[in-house]
Structure 1
Amino acid sequence: MLSTTPSLRALVLSLIVAMASSASGQSPPDPSDIGGAAPSADSSDDLLNLDLEQLSNTSVSVAVESFDETVTSVTRQESTVGMSPAAVYVITNDMIRRSGVRSIPEALRLVPGVNVAKIDSNKWAISIRGFNDQYTNKLLVQIDGRSVYSPLFGGVYWDVQDLLLEDVERIEVVRGPGATVWGSNAVNGVINVITKQAADTTGAYAIAGGGTYEEGFAGARLGGVTADGDLHWRAWGKWFERDYGYRPDVFVNDEWSQGRGGFRMDWTPTRSDTFTFQGDYYEQVYSDAIAFGPTVVPNRDSTTSGGNLLARWSRQTSDDSGWSVQFYWDRTNRLDLYAHQQIDTLDFDFQHNYRWGDWQSMVWGVGYREISDKLLSPPGSTTSYQPPTLSYGLPSAFAQNQTELAEDRLFLTLGVKLEDNYFSGVQVQPSVRLLLAIDQQRALWGAVSRAVRTPTRSEDAVTVSLPSLVFTGNRDLKAEDLMAYELGYRAQPTEYLSWDAAAFYNVYDNLINSTFTTFPTAATYASTGNGHGYGLELTGKLQMAPNWKISGNYSFLRLDVDTEPLASLSGTRSEQGSPRNQALLWSSWDLAEDWELDVITRYVDSLPALDVDSNVALDLRVGWRPNDVLECAVVAQNLLDSTHREFIGQQGTTLPTERRRGVYGSIQWRW
């Protein structure tokens, strides 16, 4: 805080101690009972004169924990939600457990401003702040620092982004641009899945269960530590099988089964150094169908496999500085109706953070990504790529500096990212962020950012030959451009209540659309679209009683997209393919010492362009934890109707099925 008298600082410290004690269910202690005397002026100074990094790691009020949750995705440095100049939300491991979700996409339904729509049994459309589709390309997704968007089309294959959920520490979701530190495709948001360190997963864990839609699943993990205590490790595996969705007009077999396993090792040979080595491998079989107008093409038993390895070395050179270097390799093998894909990605990333002077904190880094693909057309396919094999690189560099303009009150963050993309050349992505810490319970922030979505291999080189239409790629596409203006306010008026509001206005240029070159026989991609979007996102958490918490969120979105007349269908899908209103209410009770009850209600607005009605979904979980070893749960999902449609893809993509009501049970062991 700004300068205060010693007596006032002592009073503030006493209030903080009282708030923390009340949050834990204990009576506030008398100051004389703390170390045998009232807090001294020096002890008050120690707390109130902490620098930004120390203050961000100091818990002030713990009854409503959202302000103190750790985040790293906003600035690439560890901070908290309360001290982040961005719209950020954290899904904790306990939220994943108590919600009863069985996949990362389903967990993302908990986040304000994120639209999660199930297309069929094994595919989702997921977006932030609009432009939702099966292959949303304005959203960057990472798992432990490894980018998982497909360089083929810029979207994410959500069916293969899976983990043993018990090992997920948190999922950080940044709504709004993150391109200054993460690069292209971090346009409307960043999702960063962070797993637990190996030291936090020693011992054994197992889970098994099944039900109606979740026909069967099982997982196990074993972790340990070497005799000297320097090396922690874990190995894990999981399997599941899920039933098909529902269509009233035709049966579509979209069943899905997958098995995967992985490992992680964390070695700390010195107090300053940490080495991480991890990886995983998966195989799956899934079914679906493709619709070309009235024609339905079955595509049964498609196969996918892949794996990755990641190595990271981090060194803390002092209390205020450190660096890390990371390498990863990722391979995807995917055989479907359109192509046999084999894509290899090699990525190098270096980052250095340090403080200089009394008011400055800098983080900078360089990176290089090499992508090699082989895209072969299966027999009978109407799709081809020219050339069928290609290797290309992506060099990049970034720098971001935070200046403390007023001590512990006002922070200015300036940053820029430079990338040289194979498809659209050099891109510059700057941002300006300002945060005003009004006090420890209130913060106001604003940001202006530029981000780009670069053209993809598919948009550059695809050819689709149909009897009445030939669709070709375009090698002269520009990068899609976003200028984003954001304003946010978060407050914790009492230790039991917190809320967060974020408003945004986005201006888009050079949007890539499908357009006819010769109507109606020839079409291509063109960078002719533009538009704007604006919206509001609200989040709140209220501790009603020591054993009862209510949380909820609401989001509003409006998009207006202009395209050429022959590309009007693309604009309509962009405008009306994302719901205007979404809301969630979650009531979480601890019924007794060993019983839990969670009720989650969600509302999603209609999608007129896709002929999808609004829907209200109700999920319920009852859990029993008689001891630290055993946990049993029964989860019922989509209770209010037997089926409902959530999304419809474009022509030539997956034939959608409706989401079904489901019930499953599970048993977990930890020892």
Structure 2
Amino acid sequence: MSILSRAPFLYALCISLSSPVIANTDNEFDDLDALLNMPLESLADTKVVTATKTSLSLSDVPASVHVITSKEIERSSARSIADVLILAPGLHVTKFSDYDWTVSARSKNQGENNTLLVMIDGRSAVNPMYSGVNWDTLPVSLDSIDRIEVVLGPVGTMWGGNAVNGVVNIITKDAESAPKAQLSASTGNFDYKEFKAHHSGQISENTHLSGYIESLQHSPFTDTDKHFEDLRHLKVLTERFGMRADYQNLQNTVSVQFGGIQSREDYQWLTYTPAFLEPATHKNDYDIFFTEMNSQELFTGFQYLHEKLDGDQWENQVWVTHSESDSTNEPASFTRIDLDTRYTFNTQDWGILTVGANARIIDEEYAQFSEKEQYFSPYVRTIDDHKFLNQSYGLYANWAVDVTDSTEITLGNRIQYANITEEWYSQPQVRALQKLTDNQRLWMGWGRAVITPSRLELDSTFQQNGYQSKYLSIKNPDNTTTYYDYFEIIKSHGNRNLKLESIDTYEIGYRYWQDNQFQLSMSLFYSQHDNVRGYKALNPIYHPILPEASEGSSGTIINEYTSQLIDPLSQETMGGEISAQWKPIDVLQVNANYSYKTIKGDCTGSICGSSDLPVLELENTPSHYATLHIMWDLHPSVWVSSVVNYVSASEPDEALITEYKKRGYGDEHIIWPEIITLDMSVNWQHKPTWPSIKLSAENLGSDQLKEYPEQFGPFANGTQYYAELSWNFI
């Protein structure tokens, strides 16, 4: 049964749940007023789990942690997880098209970003095939999110590989807190349409059940360049669904989840038809056609928590995920099993000790292409061993103990084994927290984390093709011209001899809060990243001239340019983050954050002997990031919100600019552009029993803005408008 065929059944099951809660119309405005004017939660009252896997007050976590609440998500105008993350300090969020984002923490932003671990309820959302995140196909609904916890810096001790520069943990609402009988519909420009249905209810004394379905359609790009006129009909269609059951009785809590996502993207594709393969039937160099790129994911999870009366806890998680994609860049499927068990000893004399073990088993399977098929596509990724059982096992411990009444020390380490490299990895940390006063904290720490090796970088080859008949011409002595077909192949090979990437980070931070009106967090960091990857050009291969060719050509010339991934680079990254939340009056909340980072690269080995370009490319990144979020309740029935996001332009070294100018490129080819965007929303709801209407605009004043250098070939992002009608029937 497919995701689409399941969805109506799931919705019918969810909507049938009964709920005894009926709105009291006499107090409708009082209830709505109380909801809108909720006070800013104090740092001491905010509970977070991502940094330590135990529930702690945010004020007492010895790490840089930021929480994005469900209210802030609703008031942000964002329609995707990636867009929401601009609200957190330390993250660089860039939009490539209307469904592609990249997000980085304390590092250079790039498509295959493997230094940021992204999770949903503690389940990894990182694609194990290439250690990156497909942000547009995360199987989670914005309306189901309770909060997003962002931890900057290394969290490898607790979470393992890829938790090196940060962790984003998307924590969903339990079934009791999920939306009840909620329907919503949205529409906007660029063919945006979205429909959502959520419901939850109590099915027994101790059990709640919730579920949702969503359908989203939009254009794959908002670039209005005239070159895309013939592609305006293309669409991206995404469907999500999810169910959750929660049972709680005395000290036992059980949660079961099931969900998935399916995405279908229209796109224009071409197939090369080089004459040297079939000269007798050759007519065109390539055939252009429209097709679909499909991906889907299904997951199920079981979580069990036993809380003992003495404060000890025993928690277990089991997740099973199946994912498929037919993209020529990721032509693969995998089934992943994640197991995690941990026990927390909570004693007054010895502090808090957490010990745990985890296992991750991934059955990977890549698509296979014949040698002939590898010439047909503009690009394709291949791998020799197309089936592999990827296994990783870990043991970890984290101990937090009070050495004085005001000083706490945390010691931890994780030992991890990965069969992909047949090596053991250590990820230790040392942290300290000083309670300066009742409302001030000073913390510092050091941690080491590693990047989980992926088969993409170890074993795969990415091949790009280009073909044109009668492309090369040679003038003969008798003034006649000889023509040749030309086929160019660019291959980027992985490397089995790569060393493990590791990052050591030193941090210091300060927190201050004043009741429920103001809170301030600041942090500084220094990171040393070793064995950074880079490509080394190998000797090109010039094939003999083939006699097979198109009509009028004397043969086919095939040139093959190859490179291989190596690890000669290292980088030092320094910077800091500051965030503040202020509620000057009950109906107004202001959130602001600013981040700074600078990268200093180094290079050793033969690739660096004749050129500084690999290092200069590494250092070319924006340094300044800032966000201002204002939420204002004008009236119990009306609220407005605005988000201003700023990213500075990069300032590459003059030598890098000069080199690209020699190649015929302008400054815009390599400079990350300055970004200033404004998003705004206004929401009106006459009474709680009435539907709410939200009008939003994204990217105001920055229409057709590109967020990447031209060398990445980005789309321009247009100003988008949309209206949402949402109604809670209960």
Q: TM-score range by the shorter chain?
A: 0.7 to 0.9
1:231 to 200, 207, 215: 207
Q: Does 1:189 align with 2:163?
A: no
Structure 1 distance, partners of 2:337, 2:239, is 24
Residues 108-145 of structure 1, C-alpha deviations (whole Å, 9 max, x = no match): 01111101101112111100011211121101010011
Q: Is the 8 A contact 1:632 1:667 kept in 2?
A: yes
Q: Does 1:138 align with 2:135?
A: no
2:571 counterpart residue number:
531
Q: Is the 8 A contact 2:139 2:297 kept in 1?
A: no
Aligned-partner SS, 1:588? strand
2:618 counterpart residue number:
574
Structure 2 vs 1, CA of residues 85 and 472 (structure 1 numbering), >3 Å: closer, same or farther?
A: same
Q: Is the 8 A contact 2:87 2:629 kept in 1?
A: no
Cα displacement (A) at 1:152: 1.0
2:401 to 400, 403, 416: 403
Q: Is the 8 A contact 1:123 1:134 kept in 2?
A: no
> Given residue 677 of structure 2, which amino acid in structure 1 is its aligned partner?
A
Structure 1 distance, partners of 2:44, 2:681, is 26
- Larger C-alpha radius of gyration, 1 or 2? 2
Structure 2 distance, partners of 1:612, 1:218, is 35
Which runs of 5 or more structure 2 residues have no equivalent in the other structure? 1-32, 271-285, 465-487, 541-559, 653-669
TM-score, normalising length: structure 2: 0.79
2:178 counterpart residue number:
201
Aligned-partner SS, 1:469? strand
Cα displacement (A) at 1:453: 0.8
Structure 2 distance, partners of 1:249, 1:573, is 32
Cα displacement (A) at 1:650: 7.0
Q: Does 1:512 align with 2:572?
A: no
2:294 counterpart residue number:
303
Cα displacement (A) at 1:476: 1.3
Structure 1 distance, partners of 2:267, 2:91, is 25
Q: Is the 8 A contact 1:299 1:336 kept in 2?
A: no
Aligned-partner SS, 1:478? coil
Cα displacement (A) at 1:275: 1.3
Structure 2 vs 1, CA of residues 426 and 289 (structure 1 numbering), >3 Å: closer, same or farther?
A: farther
Structure 2 distance, partners of 1:638, 1:202, is 29
TM-score, normalising length: structure 1: 0.85
Aligned-partner SS, 2:75? helix
Structure 2 vs 1, CA of residues 214 and 92 (structure 1 numbering), >3 Å: closer, same or farther?
A: farther
Cα displacement (A) at 1:496: 2.2
Q: Is the 8 A contact 2:185 2:725 kept in 1?
A: yes
Residues 87-113 of structure 1, C-alpha deviations (whole Å, 9 max, x = no match): 110010000111121111110011111
Structure 2 distance, partners of 1:339, 1:92, is 33
Q: Is the 8 A contact 1:64 1:543 kept in 2?
A: no
1:585 counterpart residue number:
628
Cα displacement (A) at 1:296: 13
> Given residue 474 of structure 1, which amino acid in structure 2 is its aligned partner?
N
Cα displacement (A) at 1:255: 3.6
Structure 2 distance, partners of 1:296, 1:641, is 37
2:491 counterpart residue number:
470
1:272 to 239, 243, 251: 251
The range that moved more, 472-481 or 500-509, is: 472-481
Aligned-partner SS, 1:613? coil
Q: Is the 8 A contact 1:455 1:478 kept in 2?
A: no
Cα displacement (A) at 1:567: 8.6
Cα displacement (A) at 1:245: 2.2
Structure 1 distance, partners of 2:706, 2:497, is 37
* Structural mapping, 1:599-610, within 5 Å: 599-607=642-650, 610=670
* Structural mapping, 1:619-658, within 5 Å: 619-629=679-689, 630-648=691-709, 655-658=713-716
1:242 counterpart residue number:
218
Structure 2 distance, partners of 1:458, 1:306, is 20
2:589 counterpart residue number:
549
Residues 617-668 of structure 1, C-alpha deviations (whole Å, 9 max, x = no match): 11111011322233211011111122100125976xxx42111101111111
Structure 1 distance, partners of 2:674, 2:287, is 26
> Given residue 633 of structure 2, which amino acid in structure 1 is its aligned partner?
D
> Given residue 584 of structure 1, which amino acid in structure 2 is its aligned partner?
T
2:660 counterpart residue number:
none
* Structural mapping, 1:99-110, within 5 Å: 99-110=76-87
1:34 counterpart residue number:
none
Aligned-partner SS, 1:221? strand
Q: Report the count of equivalent residues.
A: 604
Aligned-partner SS, 1:665? strand
Q: Is the 8 A contact 1:501 1:537 kept in 2?
A: yes
Structure 2 vs 1, CA of residues 235 and 496 (structure 1 numbering), >3 Å: closer, same or farther?
A: closer
Cα displacement (A) at 1:240: 0.8
Cα displacement (A) at 1:356: 3.6
Q: Does 1:115 align with 2:106?
A: no
* Structural mapping, 1:415-434, within 5 Å: 415-424=412-421, 425-434=423-432
Structure 2 distance, partners of 1:626, 1:559, is 51
Cα displacement (A) at 1:324: 1.2
Structure 2 distance, partners of 1:342, 1:549, is 45
Q: Is the 8 A contact 2:42 2:516 kept in 1?
A: no
Aligned-partner SS, 1:644? coil
Q: Is the 8 A contact 2:359 2:391 kept in 1?
A: yes
Aligned-partner SS, 1:85? coil
Structure 2 vs 1, CA of residues 279 and 296 (structure 1 numbering), >3 Å: closer, same or farther?
A: farther
Cα displacement (A) at 1:298: 8.2
Residues 184-230 of structure 1, C-alpha deviations (whole Å, 9 max, x = no match): 11010000000011111263111111111461101011211124x12
* Structural mapping, 1:42-121, within 5 Å: 63=40, 65-121=42-98
* Structural mapping, 1:346-385, within 5 Å: 346-377=337-368, 379=373, 380-381=376-377, 382-385=380-383
Q: Report the aligned-residue RMSD.
A: 2.5
Structure 1 distance, partners of 2:597, 2:41, is 28
1:461 to 452, 459, 462: 459
Aligned-partner SS, 1:301? strand
2:391 counterpart residue number:
393
